[in-house]
Amino acid sequence: MLDFKDEDEALTPDSITLYAGWDMSGVIGDVDGDGDPNTFDAVGPGGITGCAVAEELGIGVNESYNLLLDLDCVGGVDDIRIQVKNNAVLRLYNNVSTTIPGAEYAVSGDKLEIRIPNYQDLLSDLETASDPCDARFRFSANAGFDGVAEDISASFLLALQPSISVDMDPPTQAVCAGSTAHWTITVTNNGLCVLNHITVVDVLGAGLSYLSSNYGPNSVVDETVTWVFTDYNLPPGESLVVTLNATTQSPCASPSLTNDVSATGVHVSPCLPQETPAPTSNDTDEASVTCRDLPSCEISGDDHTSFPSTEIYTSTVAEPFTRQWSISSTPPGICSTTDPLTGSAISVNYTGAGVCTLSLTVRDPLDPDV
pLDDT at 366: 67
Regarding whether 205 and 322 lie in a shared domain, the answer is: no
C-alpha span between 9 and 79 (Å, rounded): 31
Say if residues 305 and 326 touch (Cβ distance below 8 Å): no
C-alpha span between 119 and 57 (Å, rounded): 28
Q: How many CB atoms lie within 10 A of CB 14?
A: 11
Regarding whether 241 and 153 lie in a shared domain, the answer is: no
Backbone angles phi, psi at 119, to 5 degrees: -55, -35
Say if residues 285 and 261 touch (Cβ distance below 8 Å): yes
- Quote the distance between the C-alpha of residue 205 and its chain's center: 24
Regarding whether 340 and 276 lie in a shared domain, the answer is: no
- Has residue 227 been placed in a domain? yes
pLDDT at 363: 82
Regarding whether 132 and 176 lie in a shared domain, the answer is: no
pLDDT at 249: 94
Q: Outline where DSSP puts E strands in 230-333.
A: 239-248, 256-266, 280-292, 299-300, 309-315, 322-330
Return the sign of the alpha-carbon dihedral for residues 318, 324, 329, 334: positive
C-alpha span between 234 and 352 (Å, rounded): 73
- Has residue 368 been placed in a domain? no
Regarding whether 94 and 42 lie in a shared domain, the answer is: yes
- Has residue 370 been placed in a domain? no
For 339, the domain range is 299-363
Regarding whether 214 and 71 lie in a shared domain, the answer is: no
pLDDT at 305: 82
- Distance (Å) of CA 191 to CA 233, 271, 303: 13, 18, 69
3-state secondary structure of 84: strand
- Has residue 369 been placed in a domain? no
Say if residues 93 and 78 touch (Cβ distance below 8 Å): no
Residue 128 CB partners (closer than 8 Å, separation 6+): 71, 72, 79
Regarding whether 322 and 271 lie in a shared domain, the answer is: no
C-alpha span between 21 and 65 (Å, rounded): 10
> What is the domain-level CATH number for residue 260?
2.60.40.1530
Choosing from 157, 179, 205, the residue where a domain stops is 157
Regarding whether 71 and 202 lie in a shared domain, the answer is: no
Regarding whether 74 and 197 lie in a shared domain, the answer is: no
Query: Total domain count for the chain?
Result: 3
Choosing from 115, 139, 157, the residue where a domain stops is 157
Regarding whether 147 and 263 lie in a shared domain, the answer is: no
pLDDT at 297: 73
Regarding whether 303 and 288 lie in a shared domain, the answer is: no
Q: How many helices (H) and strands (E) does the chain have?
A: 1, 27
pTM above 0.85, yes or no: no
C-alpha span between 58 and 37 (Å, rounded): 6
H-run or E-run covering 91: strand 88-93
- Has residue 281 been placed in a domain? yes
Regarding whether 168 and 144 lie in a shared domain, the answer is: no
Q: How many CB atoms lie within 10 A of CB 74?
A: 11
Choosing from 139, 157, 175, the residue where a domain stops is 157
Return the sign of the alpha-carbon dihedral for residues 80, 82, 87, 88: positive
pLDDT one digit per residue (tens) for the chain, 370 residues: 777 666 777 767 778 888 998 888 777 777 666 677 777 666 655 555 555 555 667 787 878 889 998 888 887 777 889 999 988 999 999 889 999 999 999 988 888 999 999 988 888 877 776 778 888 888 888 766 555 556 788 888 887 889 999 999 999 998 888 899 999 999 999 988 999 999 999 999 999 999 999 999 999 999 999 999 999 999 988 999 999 999 999 899 999 999 999 999 999 988 888 888 999 999 999 999 999 887 777 888 888 888 899 999 998 887 778 889 999 999 999 999 999 999 889 999 999 999 999 999 888 776 665 5
pLDDT at 124: 81
pLDDT at 127: 77
